[in-house]
Structure 1
Amino acid sequence: MTDQARIITYDCTLRDGEQGAGISFSLEDKLAIVSRLDAFGIDIIEGGFPASNPKDIAFFKRVQTLGLTHARIAAFGSTCRKGTPAEVDSGLADIVASGAPVATIVGKSWDAQVTRALRTSLEENLRMVRDSVAFLKKAGMDVVFDAEHFFDGYRANPDYALAVLDAAAQAGADSIDLCETNGGMLPFQVQAIVEVVAAHLPGQRIGIHTHNDTGCAVANALAAVQAGAVQVQGTVNGYGERVGNADLLTLIADLQLKMGRTCVPDLTELTNVANFVAETANLKLPAHTPYTGSAAFAHKGGLHASALARFSAAYEHVAPESVGNLQHVLVSELAGKASLVSKARALGIDLSDDPQMDQEILDDVKRRESEGYSYEVADGSLSLLMLKHLGAFTPHFSLESFRVIVDDREDSGPWAADAASEATIKIHVGDKRFVATGEGVGPVGALDSALRLAMGESFPEIARFGLVDFKVRILDGNAGTSAVTRVVITTASDAESWGTVGVSENIIEASWNALVDSIEYGLIRLGK
């Protein structure tokens, strides 16, 4: 295997990623992400500015106690200040004092940035780059030089942009990473410029750092690798400022599966890493994220699902399990029989013996979806629907009636949070009648509480069920208060979760229907 086949992975989630809107990592979050990325096989993990705030100061101390087995930590900073010798620059001193084995320093490579942002001369900027790299190398650190705005700088003044790279290379930079800071380039432009750089600096390790403002961050990084770059920077799930950075996980998968390069030892951990970092960031991983999203290998069209059983490669460019993901067949009004049978099989229901029943269930699904139901995220309700058609479902209870009262006892204005809900429910379990009253912060919570109280004697297992998500969608906004409402509930028990759906012009009734399905399906899963 040649060196060209081995691509060095550089993660900047903890700095660039945290600059994304709505993202903030605690110290413990950062350390947990480092441990996970180290186990995954990332080569360099950028920890941030070593002395910019108390959290980052503590990070560089604590990270040294983790016992990392593969990754090296990089401390980030800038070249020395104009007119300041590198030996007395406080920022460079902080990088050395961090204890990190890698130093990443950013320097200007666009002449307009030098004169207008730094307000110094082009020659002084070259001195700042050269002296800063040399100082960090003398301190025993590996140095990554980030050439900021390199592609804009090259287009404006190629001679000066290359001179900046020469200064870093001559001072001993281990890697020169070309930063597409504005995110405005296209792949063919990136490839052409990186080819020039690779020819200009033979033998020098070249890296690439891209942003996604044109939607081309991953493509631009791949184009750079094709042109000779051997180090790729990115963030997990593409987090970052503005519209984000290159998604390092998508990059890794593309490089290994499509370009025959080597990045990490076990690609089947890709989806787990994506979800781990998303959960740590308190964000939901977008369903349509390449390779790792829940919809990455989801199939809804009937023709697609039918072909999957015979030739999955027709609609899946790689095997889902190769990146630790799963194939999903979604049942909707677009589905055919193959979709339904495949989905039923995944839910533990065999429809293969009765083609007439397949069509009956499919027709019912399509009718219900035309009324507002959606079964894509409601496996629990879909399972119950199939079982009812098969005559294999017996309700665990029957409803006599329920009543919900919302009582605002104090006139504290429209923003007060003192309203209380109370629900009284009457049900029958076998030949027994149960009446229970429950309270909650809202009507659905009160109904859930009352139903659990009423069923608890007969089915104590429901204490293990927890309502973890509740979504409401108005399906026809033009209908005002009489609009059809769809409610989707997610319920969890132990390590499992399931979705159920209810539809009605009355939001309480829609919620009740979804709630009942969640309890019924949960009991079925427990073998009740």
Structure 2
Amino acid sequence: MKKIELYDTTLRDGAQAEEVNFSVEDKIRIALKLDELKIDYLEGGWPGSNPKDFQFFKEIKDYHLKHVRVVAFGSTHHPRKTPETDEIFQSLLQAKTEVVTIFGKSWTIHVKEALKTTLEHNLEIIENSVRYLKGHVSKVIYDAEHFFDGFKEDPEYALETLKRALKAGAECLCLCDTNGGTLPHEIREIIQRVKDVLGEKAPLGIHAHNDSECAVANSLEAVRLGAIQVQGTINGIGERCGNANLCSIIPNLVLKMGYDVSAKDVLFKLTEVSRYVFEIANLPHPARLPFVGRSAFAHKGGVHVSAVLKSPRTYEHLDPALVGNVRRVLVSELSGRSNILYKAKELGIELDTESALVNKIVEEIKKLEAEGYEFEAAEASLELLIYKLMGEPKQYFELLTYKVFDQKQLLDSSQAEATVLVRVPPGVGEVEHTAALGNGPVNALDNALRKALVRFYPQIREMELEDYKVRVLPGLPGTSSKVRVFILSKSKDKRWGTVGVSTDILEASCQALIDSYTYKLYLDKKKRS
């Protein structure tokens, strides 16, 4: 099977996404990570458009990239200038990359309205730009911007733009669905026409946007029809609805279609890379991303879990380990015995499959979920609950009472004060009475609890609360509604989630906080034993 080139434009097209703003340092980190994934081409940016991109091309030369080739991106030269006199065009050479990608106009409306030039002059611009660059760099990729829309309006002219770029020496003609409105059957028809005109061996690529939710499908169809290069971004980020998602394209090419791509040897890094890029971009990682999302191989329904335990193929289209992901079994009101048995085993708890305890755990979880609890993201609370029902409660302290005072001060600032009474160990131990201030009542309560416990358990200092979420639950009207509080905590390389539910937000927060501290102490005791 022929080799397919992977071309990543996360640092350029992806950076045009709403809420994305990469620094030079961010771009370098991502470039190094994509090198690990063996991406073939990495579009670093448009050196003529802003100083940041130009700085990236300068600094990336200080790093030894093992596989990826860095690409400078830009447009054909200005209609009223030549390649030699266009300063922005010349910046492509100043980036000093071996590979340059330029885009040119394929759609007559863009030639006439955007470039404000004639159709013939646009063809000359394309040919002159590609030919000039070919005299200075080792490889030129030509992006035929708006090619599919241009073809629909004037197929002969769109095809002529490709002929001129090919004649001038472009090594790849990348067909761009820039507006993202083309459907797979149209992609097939148009690419077949291109091949009829340019020949079966025409070096085609595909650059698809996702405005019709077809970017991945269009990209795969283009490869099936002979495209040798696929352009896209990690997780599909990009302007408007985004670009073709390489995290879906790569495993489909390798595992489903049998194509040869360099990334196939390190496909197990795919989930890691996907999460890393969004961590650098400061974006939440979408749980439902195919292949790499947290929910991609998550099973909730009892029938599903029972079948997956017997044979994963029953509800999984591939082994999650192939893409660096993991199978997850969720526990909820839909859970059956299979969910509990699998989850307990995953947590290191051995349960007798025939034990009445399993049914007891199932019923208790269903009862709590009916009250508003949710354990899918609060696995620490779930584990503590299972031990409690087993008769092995993990208790290291007892919160006897707490009070919280929230007061408004001058200059529009507010400060809360919390006092707690804690007994360590529970029932028979010493009582600690402490108070603490905080930015709001929940922070004050957290600070007071921490202050009370740290004298007995110094390791509490290692622990941080990383996220705090409150959700109002349906049921009682208005302010009498129940709330669910979710807390994400971390300590060194471990993260865990806990949950609390009450009509009182402080009470719900207190439940989640107690579980969070309890789980930290449980982990430490487990590690020592």
TM bracket, shorter-chain basis: over 0.9
After superposition, residues 361-400 of structure 1 pair within 5 angstroms as 361-400=361-400
**Alignment match of 2:442 (pick from 427, 444, 448):** 444
- Kindly indicate whether residue 419 of structure 2 is the aligned counterpart of residue 424 of structure 1: yes
Instruction: Using the aligned pairs only, state the percent identity.
Output: 45
CA contact (8 A) 2:97 2:137 kept: no
CA contact (8 A) 1:306 1:339 kept: yes
**Equivalent residue, structure 2, for 1:52:** 49
**Equivalent residue, structure 1, for 2:114:** 117
| Secondary structure at the counterpart of residue 332 of structure 1 | coil
Letter in 1 for 2:420: I
After superposition, residues 73-222 of structure 1 pair within 5 angstroms as 73-202=70-199, 203-222=201-220
| Secondary structure at the counterpart of residue 266 of structure 1 | helix
State the alpha-carbon separation in 2 of the partners of residues 66 and 404 from structure 1: 54
CA contact (8 A) 2:111 2:118 kept: yes
After superposition, residues 326-475 of structure 1 pair within 5 angstroms as 326-410=326-410, 412=411, 416=412, 418-430=413-425, 431-475=429-473
CA contact (8 A) 1:108 1:148 kept: yes
- Kindly indicate whether residue 304 of structure 2 is the aligned counterpart of residue 304 of structure 1: yes
State the alpha-carbon separation in 1 of the partners of residues 95 and 197 from structure 2: 33
Q: 1:477 to 1:239 in 2, by over 3 A?
A: farther
After superposition, residues 30-49 of structure 1 pair within 5 angstroms as 30-49=27-46
**Equivalent residue, structure 1, for 2:59:** 62
Letter in 2 for 1:527: K
TM-score (norm 1): 0.97
Unaligned runs of 5+ in 1: none
Deviation per residue, 1:438-460 (Å, 9 max, x gap): 12112111111111111112211
| Secondary structure at the counterpart of residue 86 of structure 1 | coil
CA contact (8 A) 1:192 1:227 kept: no
| Secondary structure at the counterpart of residue 381 of structure 1 | helix
Letter in 2 for 1:396: Y
**Equivalent residue, structure 2, for 1:231:** 229
**Alignment match of 2:487 (pick from 486, 489, 510):** 489
State the alpha-carbon separation in 2 of the partners of residues 212 and 478 from structure 1: 41
Query: What is the CA RMSD across the aligned residues, in angstroms?
Result: 1.2
Unaligned runs of 5+ in 2: none
Q: Which moved more, 1:357-366 or 1:128-137?
A: 357-366
State the alpha-carbon separation in 1 of the partners of residues 184 and 355 from structure 2: 50
Q: 1:91 to 1:319 in 2, by over 3 A?
A: same
After superposition, residues 251-266 of structure 1 pair within 5 angstroms as 251-263=249-261, 264=263, 265-266=265-266
After superposition, residues 275-294 of structure 1 pair within 5 angstroms as 275-294=275-294
**Equivalent residue, structure 1, for 2:5:** 8
Letter in 2 for 1:525: L
State the alpha-carbon separation in 1 of the partners of residues 245 and 223 from structure 2: 15
| Secondary structure at the counterpart of residue 147 of structure 1 | strand
> How far has the Cα of 1:298 moved from its partner?
0.4
CA contact (8 A) 1:191 1:226 kept: no
| Secondary structure at the counterpart of residue 477 of structure 2 | helix
- Kindly indicate whether residue 19 of structure 2 is the aligned counterpart of residue 25 of structure 1: no
Deviation per residue, 1:74-117 (Å, 9 max, x gap): 11111111132222222221101110111111101011221122
State the alpha-carbon separation in 2 of the partners of residues 91 and 188 from structure 1: 38
State the alpha-carbon separation in 2 of the partners of residues 481 and 52 from structure 1: 52
> How far has the Cα of 1:343 moved from its partner?
0.8
**Equivalent residue, structure 1, for 2:315:** 315
CA contact (8 A) 1:195 1:228 kept: no
Q: Which moved more, 1:89-98 or 1:250-259?
A: 89-98
Q: Which moved more, 1:155-164 or 1:468-477?
A: 468-477
CA contact (8 A) 2:490 2:496 kept: yes
**Equivalent residue, structure 1, for 2:506:** 508
> How far has the Cα of 1:394 moved from its partner?
4.0
Q: 1:365 to 1:477 in 2, by over 3 A?
A: closer
